Amino acid sequence: MSTVNAESKVKTYKNCTELNKDYKGGVALSSSTKNKGGKTKYKPYLSKELYNANKKSDRDNDGIACEK
């Protein structure tokens, strides 16, 4: 018997190209997160769960994965 937890509903993307197809501005950890990389073209989507599932894609460790 398998149980479905909340984490299984959060999509993990294999890279930023895939993530940016669904979330043009990337995914931010929280609304207070500031982008270290300078200006972005798009506003990031806010989701702690989605960010945590794709944390490996946050190369500059600023709390926004795959920002554009």
| Residue 44 near residue 64 (C-beta atoms within 8 A) | yes
State pLDDT tens for residues 15-27: 999 999 999 999 9
State percent of the chain over pLDDT 70. Answer: 88
Predicted TM-score (pTM) of the model is 0.83
User: Is 41's pLDDT higher than 70?
Assistant: yes
Q: List the domain boundaries for the chain.
A: 12-65
| pLDDT at residue 8, as a whole number | 61
N- to C-terminal Cα distance for the chain? 41
